Structure 1
């Protein structure tokens, strides 16, 4: 079996895999003092952010999963854990009997605020070596998201 690349470093996919693993490790370490996993953080903070943008009208699980680009079943499992921790509340949707409205509790709001500070601090440290090229990386990653 052979590859079109002479070295592993030439492969953009493999390089992305390696960088993603390094970044996720640093985020896991930043979230560890809060007893929160990365998926829990992403969904909790996304829920807070979307609710803030939506005048706290609540969002559905599907909307949250789409925003986070996360599988709906995985989203459901993570939300169950966040609900057990008392960070979110699920209540029946007023017009769609199949959906729940997801809202952030007061303790969820507090932990989301604390964890986003830690995560953004870690992001700044992790990506600091890129300097002014960070904007270009973000633009390229967004371009890949639109494919």
Structure 2
């Protein structure tokens, strides 16, 4: 098999995949005490954050999916699980009959606030070996995210 790379560490895609797997494992471990998957955490905390930015008027599933860059159907499935857990509520949108307004319940707010502390602590630990270079990593990731 031929490749333009002499070894896997020269491939940015492969290295990103490896690091992503290591980071996801660390985040899974951080979220285990909260009985949240990573997608559940991302949607729950994003819903909380977006609602706070929006003066707690509620957000739609489409807005949430766009913010997280998650597929709308996957977003819907995960939100169903969060609703069953009592972490979010969905109610009909006042002006768009096709949409629901999503808000975080009190228990969901508490779980999101505690889980984000664990996730951010794990991020600090995971990326600590980069020292000041973590800012450069963030700049590069933002650049890639704009694609």
State TM-score, norm by structure 2: 0.99
Matches of 1:80 and 1:2 in 2, distance apart?
A: 46
Tell me the CA shift for residue 114 of structure 1: 0.4
In structure 2, stretches of 5+ residues that fail to align are: none
How many Å separate the matches in 1 of 2:61 and 2:2?
Answer: 43
Note the 1:60-99 alignment, pairs <5 A. Answer: 60-99=60-99
Tell me the secondary structure at the aligned position of residue 122 of structure 1: helix
Aligned to 1:50: 50
1:126 counterpart = 2:126: yes
Deviation readout 1:33-65 (Å, 9 max, x if unpaired): 111100000000000000000000100001001
Aligned residues: 147
Deviation at residue 124 of structure 1 after TM alignment: 0.2
The equivalent of 1:110 in structure 2 is 110
How far, CA to CA, are the matches of 1:85 and 1:49 in structure 2?
19
Further displaced range: 1-10 or 134-143: 1-10
Unaligned runs of 5+ in 1: none
**Does 2:17 match 1:14?**
no
User: 4+ residue runs of structure 1 moved beyond 2 angstroms?
Assistant: none
Q: Which residue of 1 aligns with 2:26?
A: 26
Q: What's the RMSD between the two structures over aligned residues?
A: 0.5
